[in-house]
A and B are shown apart, each in its own frame.
Chain A
Amino acid sequence: MSVSYDEAEQFLREEVAAMMTIDPATIDADTVLIGANRVLDSADLVMLLLAVEDFARDRVGVEFDWTSDSAMSEARSVLRSVGSLARHLTDLQSA
């Protein structure tokens, strides 16, 4: 059970696009998830994180903890962008 960075990013792009009802092709690794210029409101972000929790468990085989102290830090958070979250999900495999 493992996923590549590209698979994780693709999953996130599709999820974010579905919430915004736009084409996934318009979402990329730099799409901002928290802080200024974020594309999702807080309610949609929670829905995304729940989906990521399931993805992490079912596809990656790891637990994704989005309640950690650093999760919502705009500067340090793995939730900064689609790319940083995809990287975090793939990094969890080797943790």
Chain B
Amino acid sequence: MDVVVVTGASRGLGRFCAQSLHDSGYRVVGLGRSAVTDAPFEMRSANVADPISVAEALGDLRRDPSVYALINAAGIASMNLVVTTPAATARRIVETNLLGTIYCCQQIAPALIKRGGGRIVNFSTLGVQLAIKGEAIYIASKAGVEAFSRTFAREMAPYGVTVNTVAPGPIDTALLAKVPKANVDEVVRRQIVPRQAEPVDVWNIVSMLLAPESSMLSGETLHVGGA
């Protein structure tokens, strides 16, 4: 059974993707900061911002050719003006969103290379295109994810591994809980498809990227809702 590793699998889009993958017949290995006991798939506790924690959690999969894909959905946000954001918060956002993505790719890529193919899907945000006020640090971390993914895609192409980024707009998850509705509506209004996306809309794109037919699609950022 093909294995898909999903980070941020304890809640939000990561949880939705992990659940959908499980329902589709994959063996899911979920990563989360907190131990989740109600998941129907295997959950492991790890802090993606810590490379040692990632290595301990995923070390057994590093050489496992049954690993087919990695979905990096772990992420944190702190909506605030740059000048009022504590340095420690800025660091935590970049370490989790950007470095966390890189650490997990480093850990799982060898398994995909050994397999001779596979998929990596990273998560960004529509905010990179829209330059949303109050999200500069979060957006900077995600812009880093997009640049990393596009370049890493070139490195992985010789091994038949695609690397793409999915960039959703505002989705009703915990990440959005503290964002005023007016702000959400404004972002949705600026999307090409002016409808607030549901988790299933994101999953549909992730699912497409995981399909064998998507082997020629790599290094791209797919904007959910359009920007």
Interface residues of A (CB under 8 A from B): 42-43, 46-47, 50, 53-54, 67
Contact = CB atoms under 8 A, between A and B. Distances in A.
A50 B113 contact: yes
Interface string B183-211: 00000000000000000000000000000
B12 interface: no
Interface in B10-53: none
Contacts of B159: 43, 46
Contacts of B63: 50, 53-54
The DSSP consensus for interface residues of chain A is helix
Contacts of A47: 113
Contact of A50 (B106, B110, B155, B158): B110
A46 B106 contact: no
B116 to A, nearest CB: 10
Contacts of A42: 155
B114 interface: yes
Contacts of B106: 67
Given A43-B158, A50-B114, 12 more contacts: A42-B155, A43-B159, A46-B113, A46-B159, A47-B113, A50-B63, A50-B110, A50-B113, A53-B63, A53-B110, A54-B63, A67-B106
Interface residues of B, number: 8
Interface of B: 63, 106, 110, 113-114, 155, 158-159
B132 to A, nearest CB: 35
Contacts of B113: 46-47, 50
A39 B106 CA distance: 24
A53 B114 CA distance: 12
A43 B155 CA distance: 8
Contacts of A54: 63
A65 to B, nearest CB: 10
Interface pairs A-B: 4 shortest CB-CB = A43-B158, A50-B110, A50-B114, A46-B113
A68 B131 CA distance: 37
Nearest to A49: B110
A42 B158 CA distance: 10
A55 to B, nearest CB: 12
Contacts of A67: 106
Contacts of A46: 113, 159
Nearest to A65: B55
Q: Which of A42, A50, A54 has the most CB of B within 10 A?
A: A50
B56 to A, nearest CB: 13
B30 to A, nearest CB: 24
B151 to A, nearest CB: 13
A54 B114 CA distance: 11
Contacts of A53: 63, 110
Contacts of B114: 50
A53 to B, nearest CB: 7
Contacts of B158: 43
14 contacts: A42-B155, A43-B158, A43-B159, A46-B113, A46-B159, A47-B113, A50-B63, A50-B110, A50-B113, A50-B114, A53-B63, A53-B110, A54-B63, A67-B106
